[in-house]
Amino acid sequence: MGAQIPEVRSTDELRERWMKPEVISGSEILLRSLLLEGVDCVFGYPGGAVLYIYDAMYGFEDFKHVLTRHEQGAIHAADGYARASGKVGVCIATSGPGATNLVTGIATAYMDSVPLVVITGNVNSSLIGSDAFQEADITGITMPITKHSYLVKDVKDLAGIIHEAFHIANTGRKGPVLIDIPKDVSANKTLFEPSTEPVILRGYNPRTVPNKLQVDRLAQAIQEAERPMIIAGGGVVYSGGHEALFEFVGKTGIPITTTLLGLGAFPSGHELWTGMPGMHGTYTSNMAIQQSDLLINIGARFDDRVTGKLDGFAPHAKIVHIDIDPAEIGKNIATDIPIVGDVKTVLEIANKEVGRAERADAWRDQIKQWKQEKPYTYTDSDEVLKPQWVVELLNDSTKGEAIVTTDVGQHQMWAAQYYKFNQPRSWVTSGGLGTMGFGFPSAIGAQMANPDRLVISINGDGGMQMCSQELAICAINNIPVKIVIINNQVLGMVRQWQELIYENRYSHIDLAGSPDFVKLAEAYGVKGLRATNKEEAERAWQEALDTPGPVVVEFVVRKDENVYPMVPQGATIDQMLMGDAEE
């Protein structure tokens, strides 16, 4: 194993070579600034407006540039890199169509608070606004989906802007920052003076340390609660607060559900963990939220897929909300105890104050009973492959230790349900935006960030076809991602809704005409395997694990399988359709 990631040179060596004041071009400033920020890998696609930048990259070996086959692949890869590492993901694209091809990826990162620095070229400053060839107002287009953006007017500003962009992307509530560099700015020369001074911005001071009074109120509320419940989200992972969370749960003995983006923030084998909440969450999580008298939200944002019908969500609960972004507190759910701060910092402070929820013994028994009585279930078959069984196979064979990326739809929910994560940054999925085409390229980024870990990308046959061209970069760079395609020959989640809500009117969901995925893999020089029953599945999967490079494994499953439980849209989350488990 081991993708071709660059040898990490010592910082001293780099510093000596690059980090001295020197008159250089904007393009060289960009590259040196990226090194200064600790970047070891960028994903990109050249074009007219970034020719100077790519010219400066010629022979530049201090970070790796991965040439994707579509800008969308580049930004999803940068996103997967960031989610799986905690570092800022970087991608580069040219002006106009290059830049607009990034839009879906930027929105994906924005919705899930993923730190990216997105570099786009633009036409010459003198041509901006003239509808020049390959001109697009990318800062304007992306304004609603970036945390911040810059159009660089003068090469003298470039180094400072890059330094600021990294700071903004990876602090506070993280997110994508776009830097648009006109072609002349990338060519012009100026004195580069490397700076690692802390960035000071008057309008940007994220509050990390919580108000002590609110933390005391939380401790008090825990003392009084009879049915306390924790809902933990992506904020735990992003702040590195998983250990503090583990200690918090240990101290208080409060049951915990983790949202889709929170999976991995808490070990799934723990007796107080109830699985995921929401539309396809566990019976236990949803019932526990609805019956709780104290709901402690730690770094989640009360997304509509979690809350179901807002009016009627956790009707008996006092709400505590811990979030780095004050705007999330009170946005969807009225909050009794607002705690603004970095999740890790808040939990570390809280851990000194909180004690065991003494009055919740009966509640803990109730949770245990629900967990036993109502786990995720499906009807297995020896005739056909069941997608849930496939995910269980992946989980059992890797003991929950792999990094898993997914696309969007049924397979995503089954992966979330049946893969049992034990550590953070092991789960890469597009939660907020629900971006099809994300699953496979994000795995490439995750693997680049973690060359020594097993990375499994779980996709449907629909989403796989939205970015399958990136098989080329797996092949050429020997990026050993295990690419799983759960092929049910339809757009499964749409099919499920059409069955359950649109009275079996299956409108335009048949994916007939899809390629032979084994041959598609082989066309790129990637090993391809197919399984249609359990025996073949076990054999193919083992072969994939034993193969050092990238492998595509197609599991052919039946098309009419549904994801359960399911909370119909508009219902409260205790009104679940239980599917096969329905009595």
Partner 1 sequence: MIRHTISILVNDQPGVLQRVSGLFGRRGYNIESITVGQSEEPGLSRMVIVTIGDDKTLEQIEKQLYKIIDVIKVVDFSLKPMVARELALIKVKAEPSERPEILGVVETFRASVVDVGPASLMVQAVGDTDKIDAMIELLKPYGIRELSRTGVTALVRGNV
Of the residues 436, 493, 566, 576, only one is catalytic, namely 493
CA end-to-end distance (rounded Å), the chain: 47
Contact 294, 320 (CB under 8 A): yes
DSSP state of 562: -
72 as an active site residue: the answer is no
Strand partners, 191: 23
Residue 343 CA to residue 349 CA, distance in Å, equals 10
Q: Shortest approach of partner 1 to residue 71 CB, angstroms?
A: 23
Contact 97, 61 (CB under 8 A): no
Of the residues 71, 392, 554, 561, only one is catalytic, namely 71
436 as an active site residue: the answer is no
Q: Shortest approach of partner 1 to residue 327 CB, angstroms?
A: 4
Q: Which two tokens stand for residue 489?
A: 């020959």
b (16+ CB within 10 A) / e for 295-305? bbbbbbbbbeb
493 as an active site residue: the answer is yes
Q: Shortest approach of partner 1 to residue 168 CB, angstroms?
A: 6
Residue 111 CA to residue 178 CA, distance in Å, equals 15
Q: Where does this chain bind partner 1 (CB under 8 A)?
A: 139-140, 143-144, 147-149, 151, 168, 173, 201-204, 325-327, 330-331
Q: Shortest approach of partner 1 to residue 47 CB, angstroms?
A: 24
Q: Shortest approach of partner 1 to residue 551 CB, angstroms?
A: 43
Residue 95 CA to residue 93 CA, distance in Å, equals 7
Q: Give whichever of 148 and 482 is closer to partner 1, judged by the CB atom.
A: 148
183 as an active site residue: the answer is yes
Given 3-state DSSP classes, what are the helix, strand and coil percentages for the chain, each rounded to the nearest 5?
A: 40, 15, 40
Measured on CA atoms in the order 287, 292, 298, 301, is the torsion positive or negative? Answer: positive
Q: Give whichever of 297 and 465 is closer to partner 1, judged by the CB atom.
A: 297
Q: Shortest approach of partner 1 to residue 513 CB, angstroms?
A: 37
Cis peptide leading into residue 21 (ω within 30°): no
Of the residues 174, 183, 482, 534, only one is catalytic, namely 183
Strand partners, 22: 192
Of the residues 1, 13, 61, 133, only one is catalytic, namely 133
Q: Give whichever of 322 and 483 is closer to partner 1, judged by the CB atom.
A: 322
Of the residues 22, 60, 64, 134, only one is catalytic, namely 134
H or E element that contains 258: strand 256-258
Q: Give whichever of 171 and 351 is closer to partner 1, judged by the CB atom.
A: 171
Q: Which of 187, 198, 265, 268 is nearest to 24 (CA)?
A: 187
Contact 562, 279 (CB under 8 A): no
Q: Shortest approach of partner 1 to residue 165 CB, angstroms?
A: 10
The number of angstroms, rounded, from the C-alpha of 279 to the middle of its chain's C-alpha atoms is: 19
> Can you give 389-430 as a three-state secondary structure string?
HHHHHHHHHHCCCCEEEECCCHHHHHHHHHCCCCCCCCEECC
Backbone angles phi, psi at 310, to 5 degrees: -65, -40
- Catalytic positions: 71, 133-134, 183, 493
